[in-house]
Structure 1
Amino acid sequence: MKTHDERFANMTFSSVYPHYLNKVEKKGRTKEELHQVIEWLTGFDDQQLQAHIDDKVTFEIFFQNADLNPNAHLITGLICGYRIEEIENPLTRKVRYLDKLVDELAKGKKMEKILRNS
C-alpha cells in the first residue's frame, strides 16, 4: 500500500483533471458542476483551480493547499475496491474523496446529495 500512497503523492492534479472532466461530460454533467464539487471539497475557486493545473502541482501539494470541507468525512463507500473510511493514509483518503465525488457526479446524483448538505 505504501507505493500506492507514494504514487498519489507524486501524481500531478493536472494529469488527472482531464479524466475527471471527460468522465462527467460523457455522462451529461458540466465543467461548472465538476468545479463546484472540487470547490466544495477543497475550497479552491476556478482561478485557484486553474493555477494548480497550470503549475502542475502534485496531489500532495494540491491537498496541502486545500481547505478541506469539514463534511468531507461524510464521503464513504467503495472506490476502486477500497472502502474510503478505512484508508489510513490521509492524502490517499483525500484523493479518493475527490474520486468518489466525481463518480457520484458522473452517475447523476443530485448536487445536494454529492455536497453532503446537512
Structure 2
Amino acid sequence: MKITPDHNERIAKMTFASVYPHYLAKVEKKGRTKEELQQVIEWLTGYEENKLQNLIDEKVTFETFFQNARLNPNAHLITGTICGYRVEDIENPLTQQVRYLDRLVDELAKGRKIEKILRA
C-alpha cells in the first residue's frame, strides 16, 4: 500500500483527543486497564498522566502531540503491520510515530505482556 501526502496530512491534523477514547475502549474491551494504556503511551512518548490529560483537554493534533514528545530510543524496535502498512517501512516520521502508537495499543489489546510491548 502507498501512503499519500494527503493521508499524512490527515493524520497530522487529527486530534489525539478524538482517538484516545477509541484506544481506551479497545484495550478495556479486551480486559486491559487505563493504567496499562497510560504505561504504554508514557513509554513511547514520555508523557506522564497529568501531561497526557492536558494534551487531551487542549485537543492537540497528532503533529503537536509528537513534536513535543520524547520518543523512546527503542521505538524503532516496534515492527509489524497496522492498517495494512508495515510500520518499519513508513517513510513519513509523523505517520510512522502515530502507527507506532497504534501498534502498541493493538499489542496491549491482544494480551501481549507489558514487558514485551515495552521492548524490555
Give unpaired runs (5+ residues) of structure 1. none
Query: How many equivalent pairs are there?
Result: 117
Q: Deviations over 1:5-55 (max 9, x none)?
A: 000110000000000000000000000000000000000000000000000
Tell me, yes or no, if structure 1 residue 112 matches structure 2 residue 108: no
* 4+ long deviations beyond 3 Å: none
Which residue in 2 is equivalent to 1:74? 77
Q: Aligned to 1:47, which of 47, 50, 61?
A: 50
The offset of 1:62, in angstroms, is: 0.1
CA distance in structure 1 between the partners assigned to 2:19 and 2:58 by the alignment: 14
TM-score, scaled to structure 2: 0.97
Please report the TM-score for the alignment, with normalisation by the length of structure 1.
0.99
Paired residue for 1:62?
65
Given candidates 48, 67, 86, the residue that maps to 2:89 is 86
| Structure 2: stretches of 5+ with no match in the other structure | none
Q: Offset at 1:61?
A: 0.1
Matched, 1:102 2:105: yes
SS at 2:63 equivalent: helix
The counterpart of 1:24, out of the listed 2, 27, 42, is: 27
The percent of aligned pairs where both chains have the same amino acid is: 76
How many angstroms apart in 2 are the aligned matches of 1:73 and 1:92?
13
